[in-house]
């Protein structure tokens, strides 16, 4: 019998909820399915050729890449900085840890409502404050020049708590004697951080980087609620574009092809992570 009975339940769950949907999406991507016809017709690679020929797909990919890389970079940098602050033995340590992690557990809908209000061009507190010091406030979410940056900032605010906590746990796993040895050797606090602590955080950094990157590539909820992909398509992330094609335009075959493209992209990123983890990340 061996281990089979023990892994069977997990295998069944994976098969039903992961592998079957994956196979089904791959099949649908080769059809003209629209959820309204029971037996879709096979159309070969037509959806893929339509996808590559569609300027909106490329635009969406570009927007998604900018969004994902920006949010990931900000989450890694801010998450690490916040972790250093949260690790420092101050009176505000607990308060800071709570404040940093709270946005992670706030629902996307509540986040969107609050930020829509804060960033309102005319009556929002952000522009009111800018106006009070004589600065003109832009239409944060309604101007194509600022909408993507605004969504990036909101997504970072919402997501940075998790990397911060992961970095905090990474920091706490670093043996104190290594940093103490550097201090005894005359290193300043900045040198200790730059030459000892941050390099030792490399495994955590790698994990945070890829978790963040994969998560942001799949984002669509914030965009759906903050901007609806607009204005002028400036925040049309691939995840939202897939949702729109599947459920608003009823083009399930085309949406499936887009999903397969996203899956392959994420698979590529996952393989890259494995490669980099093997070569570049040094454990103690």
CB atoms within 10 A of CB 152: 21
Among 110, 249, 267, 276, binds other proteins (CB under 8 A): 249
Among 5, 38, 89, 136, binds other proteins (CB under 8 A): 38
Among 37, 62, 169, 188, binds other proteins (CB under 8 A): 37
Q: Smaller CB distance to other proteins: residue 201 or 226?
A: 226
SS3 content of the chain, % helix, strand, coil (to 5): 75, 0, 25
| Distance between CA atoms of residues 49 and 229, nearest Å | 23
Asked whether position 120 contacts other proteins by CB under 8 A, the answer is yes
Asked whether position 14 contacts other proteins by CB under 8 A, the answer is no
Q: Smaller CB distance to other proteins: residue 5 or 38?
A: 38
Q: Smaller CB distance to other proteins: residue 35 or 66?
A: 35
**Residue 6 three-state SS:** helix
Segment near other proteins (CB under 8 A); pick from 150-158, 199-207, 209-217, 222-230: 222-230
What's the sign of the alpha-carbon dihedral 155, 161, 164, 169? negative
CA angle 99, 100, 103 (to 5 degrees): 85
The token pair at 46 is 């037509």
Among 123, 136, 176, 177, binds other proteins (CB under 8 A): 123
Q: What track of x and - describes contact with other proteins for positions 55 through 84 (by CB under 8 A)?
A: ------------------------------
Among 25, 35, 149, 206, binds other proteins (CB under 8 A): 35
Q: How many of the chain's residues bind other proteins (CB under 8 A)?
A: 27
Asked whether position 122 contacts other proteins by CB under 8 A, the answer is yes
Q: Is 53 exposed, middle or buried (0-12, 13-18, 19+ CB in 10 A)?
A: exposed
Among 250, 263, 269, 281, binds other proteins (CB under 8 A): 250
Asked whether position 43 contacts other proteins by CB under 8 A, the answer is no
One DSSP character per residue, 42-66 reads B-TTHHHHHHHH-HHHHHHHHHHHH
Spell out the residues 6+ positions from residue 109 whose beta carbon is closer than 8 angstroms to its own.
225
Q: For the chain, give me the number of helices (H) and strands (E)?
A: 16, 0
Q: What track of x and - describes contact with other proteins for positions 129 through 148 (by CB under 8 A)?
A: ----------x-xxxx----
Among 153, 230, 266, 269, binds other proteins (CB under 8 A): 230
């Amino acid at each position: 019998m061996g281990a089979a009975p023990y892994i069977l339940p997990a295998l069944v769950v994976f098969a039903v909820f992961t592998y079957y949907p994956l196979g089904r999406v791959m099949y649908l991507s080769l059809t003209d399915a629209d959820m309204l016809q029971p037996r879709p017709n096979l159309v070969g690679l037509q959806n893929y050729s339509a996808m590559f020929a569609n300027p909106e797909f490329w635009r969406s990919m570009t927007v998604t890449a900018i969004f994902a890389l920006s949010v990931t970079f900000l989450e890694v940098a801010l998450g690490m900085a916040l972790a250093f602050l949260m690790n420092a033995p101050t009176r505000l340590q607990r308060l800071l840890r709570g404040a940093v992690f709270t946005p992670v557990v706030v629902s996307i809908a509540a986040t969107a409502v609050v930020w829509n209000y804060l960033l309102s061009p005319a009556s929002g507190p952000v522009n009111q404050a800018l106006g009070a010091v004589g600065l003109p406030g832009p239409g944060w979410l309604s101007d194509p020049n600022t909408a993507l940056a605004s969504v990036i900032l909101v997504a970072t605010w919402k997501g940075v708590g998790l990397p911060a906590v992961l970095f905090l746990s990474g920091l706490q796993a670093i043996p104190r004697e290594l940093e103490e040895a550097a201090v005894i050797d005359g290193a300043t606090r900045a040198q200790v951080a730059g030459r000892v602590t941050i390099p030792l955080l490399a495994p955590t950094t790698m994990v945070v980087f890829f978790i963040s990157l994969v998560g942001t590539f799949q984002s669509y909820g914030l965009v759906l609620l903050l901007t609806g992909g607009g204005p002028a398509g400036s925040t049309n992330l691939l995840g939202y574009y897939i949702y729109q094609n599947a459920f608003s335009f009823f083009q399930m075959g085309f949406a499936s092809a887009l999903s397969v493209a996203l899956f392959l992209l994420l698979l590529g990123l996952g393989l890259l992570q494995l490669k980099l983890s093997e070569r570049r990340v040094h454990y103690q």
